[in-house]
Amino acid sequence: MFNSSDIEAFKNVWVFCEQRNGEMMPTTFELISEGRKLADELGVELCGILLGDDVDGIAPELGVYGADKVYVYNSPLLKTFTTDAYTKIITDAVAEFKPEILLFGASTIGRDLAPRCAARLHTGLCADCTHLDIDLDNYQKFLKEASTLPEDRIERTKSVKLAGADHSVARDLKMTRPAFGGHLMASIICPRFRPAMATVRPGVMKKRENRRTAEILHLIGADYIVSVGRGISKDVEKGLALAEELANELGGVVGASRACVDAGWIGADHQVGQTGKTVHPKVYIALGISGAIQHKAGMQESECIIAVNKNETAPIFECADYGIVGDLFKVVPELIESIRAAKAAK
């Protein structure tokens, strides 16, 4: 009989390797890379679990990113994702092999499947994580950089009260995620049950370097992103055309704020932010984006942020490395010319 509270019986880190139409989802490689780090900190194996029909061929590449082993389940019934079949296979595999950690990408499939598995296994699941740690020193170092917590509060994170006794979290997975639209961060643990489960936000975890370069140009992973916001409302078509021209000049892609997506000016796959995608390009140019916290949550880790906005009090300027107060319809054509000239002068 499977018993999720028999902590000692569980070992190894597992990653659900999501494929669609026989192609590995890019997030899988991010998860394998992150899973490798966790497995090393625990001194255990990293395993992938891959479900599909005739998908053996795409398993070996997971080794490039650090997987020690991949469990592959092939069946015509698993070709396309269904909640029932995938939940059955995964929970049966967990009951048989007992991994201590199980990670999923926070895709529309991962977020459908993981809660169902967690409920069946009677264990905890943390949604949409942006940071994972085992090692306590690394975790506390992360808190020093990423939080405003005082030293003594950080020091106290080494244990929690559990049924009246102090429980050391040294071997627990510490799962950090944004809550309340990014206003607050929380670190969650699952101390009494295994596996500790998490869905991980796509685009956040760094993928290991490898030889593969031929990937579809996509918002996640783009080096240059030019995003538009409500500021283009005056002339949506022209605003989008300017953003595209600037993005082309830089070899980048066009993103957008939620306002533009909600207004139907641009497709939802362009959306950056809490409900959209998290990106960390080399350069993020925000055109006419006021910078609501939900938007910032998706882009503030960019290496260089440039903001153009008519309103000098726009919150976007608080996280920008460079800001220009002005009308994007005037500034962008000038900026394109300036960049061309600067590149030509090199």
Q: Which of residues 77-96 bind other proteins (CB under 8 A)?
A: 80-81, 83-84, 87
Sign of CA dihedral 188, 194, 200, 206: positive
Examine residue 76 and say whether the peptide bond preceding it is cis (omega within 30 degrees of 0): no
Q: Max Cα separation, the chain?
A: 71
Which secondary structure element, helix H or strand E, spans residue 244, and what is its range? helix 236-250
Q: Which of residues 19-58 bind other proteins (CB under 8 A)?
A: 20
Segment contacting other proteins by CB under 8 A, of 35-43, 55-63, 68-76, 123-131: 123-131
The residues near 304 (Cβ < 8 Å, ≥ 6 apart) are: 282, 283, 284, 321, 322
| DSSP one-letter string for 35-67 | HHHHHHHHT--EEEEEEESS-GGGSTHHHHTT-
Segment contacting other proteins by CB under 8 A, of 29-37, 50-58, 184-192, 233-241: 184-192
The contact pattern for other proteins, residues 259-288, with x = CB under 8 A and - = no contact, is ----------x----x-------xx-----
- Residue 27 phi/psi, 5° resolution? -60, -30
Q: Is 124 in the site for other proteins (CB under 8 A)?
A: yes
CB of 115 to other proteins, least distance (A): 4
CB 150 within 8 A of CB 139: no
Q: How far apart are CA 273 and CA 235, in angstroms?
A: 23
Segment contacting other proteins by CB under 8 A, of 30-38, 44-52, 68-76, 338-346: 338-346
What is the size of the binding site for other proteins (CB under 8 A)?
87
Q: Which of residues 188-247 bind other proteins (CB under 8 A)?
A: 188-193
Q: Is 115 in the site for other proteins (CB under 8 A)?
A: yes
- Find the DSSP H helices in 12-126: 26-42, 61-64, 83-97, 110-121
Segment contacting other proteins by CB under 8 A, of 39-47, 63-71, 233-241, 291-299: 291-299
CB of 69 to other proteins, least distance (A): 27
The contact pattern for other proteins, residues 164-183, with x = CB under 8 A and - = no contact, is -----x----x---xxxxxx
CB of 47 to other proteins, least distance (A): 22
